[in-house]
Amino acid sequence: MERGAGIETKLVPPTFVSRKNRILAELSLPEQEYSDLSPKGSVDEGIREFIQDINNLPGLVTTSSCAGRISVFLEGRRPSNLPEGKTTSEAKKFAPSGGKGAGKWLYVSHDPLSTESCSAALNGHDGSKERKSLHDMFGMVPGDGKPPGVNKEGHAPRLVRFHFEPMILHIMAATLHHAQPVLSAASSSGFRESGLQSLRCLDGGDGPSPIVAVRSAGLALESVIGYCEDGSDGDYDGQVIRSLVTEEYLQMLVAMSNERFLTNSKRKERFRTALLNACSADYPVGMRRKGKTKPPSWEDAETRKARMREEGLTRKKLLEDQTEKALD
């Protein structure tokens, strides 16, 4: 047994090791067999490498994640508002796992939204030159900008909401000692609303492990952009989703979201660097294995700088192309 192995065993509770192994076993499933509670149903490509870095660290494991996304969501009715005879299960069938109640996702993207990607998604293939409106992309028809009143049952209309949501990570830690560098790295990287989800971990014993929620609410964006024209609680099929805004307004929301994607990416990279540096340099000897102080996917400063520069140029060109086409 190498020096320090016994210390590591004492520092990381066996209950955490069991929980981490179960999570890693699920993540190791082939993509076609893996499913989670997100609308996409799998780990976002833009954060997969970072999750592997975290999961390679002793005493830490990710439990849920989102790299950041643009989404358009049509609200549903709460079960308590459903007409007589309609069941809760019928209400929930319109929202995929992880959805916000009895609602419907009209659009979800974990990448900046360009005119080209809109066209490709609408036509079912890449490389199409045909341009479609954002109204078409989001499944809405133009309206006159006037909001509707309550329907004959006295229900307010179901609204359509446009969201930009920055990266969010939930990281389970073996102990509060392991959670501390996560919180510190998150706060210093711009994720200032990060914190522990629960203090039940203070009870000790085999209770819940501390979970750190890494988030930045200040970067989020939300706007009501439409409503479901038929205010009843029937099936979504055949109902008209009416816009409350202009095409230019949607273009502005998309442009703002694309800029926030860039900020989100920079914060994510700062957090990654800060966390891996802290866990490589500051953890006690017993929490590191000899000859393996950094995760296998660790990049040196020059390699990481070159990769970030290339990704930044790609995103910049994407934004410039979108702005140019919006002005055509």
10-residue averages of pLDDT along the chain (328 residues): 40 88 81 48 76 92 92 78 46 39 85 65 48 87 82 77 95 92 94 86 72 92 90 57 94 95 94 90 44 51 68 71 63
Residue 115 has what pLDDT? 55
Specify the amino acid at residue 283. Answer: Y
Do 298 and 70 form a contact (C-beta atoms < 8 A)?
no
Residue 1 has what pLDDT? 35
| pTM value surpassing 0.75 | no
Among 323, 327, 321, residue whose Cα is nearest residue 129: 321
Do 295 and 280 form a contact (C-beta atoms < 8 A)?
no
Tell whether the torsion through CA atoms of 36, 37, 40 and 43 is positive or negative: negative
Measured in whole angstroms, the distance separating CA 319 from the mean position of its chain's CA atoms is 21
Q: What CATH number has the domain bearing residue 289?
A: 3.30.1960.10
Do 261 and 117 form a contact (C-beta atoms < 8 A)?
no
Domain that holds residue 126: 5-327
Residue 225 has what pLDDT? 96
3-state secondary structure the chain: CCCCHHHHHHHCCHHHHHHHHHHHHHHCCCCCCCCCCCCCCCCCHHHHHHHHHHHCCCCEEEEEEECCEEEEEECCCCHHHCCCCCCHHHHHCCCCCCCCCCCEEEEEECCCCCHHHHHHHHHCCCCCCCCCCHHHHCCCECCCCCCCCCCCCCCCCCEEEEEEECCEEEEEECCHHHHHHHHHHHHHCCCCCCEECCCHHHHCCCCCCCEEEECCHHHCEEEEEEEECCCCCCCCCCCCEEECCCHHHHHHHHHHHHHHHHHHHHHHHHHHHHHHHHHHHCCCHHHCECCECCCCCCCCHHHHHHHHHHHHHHHHHHHHHHHHHHHC
Residue 57 has what pLDDT? 92
Number of folded domains that form the chain: 1
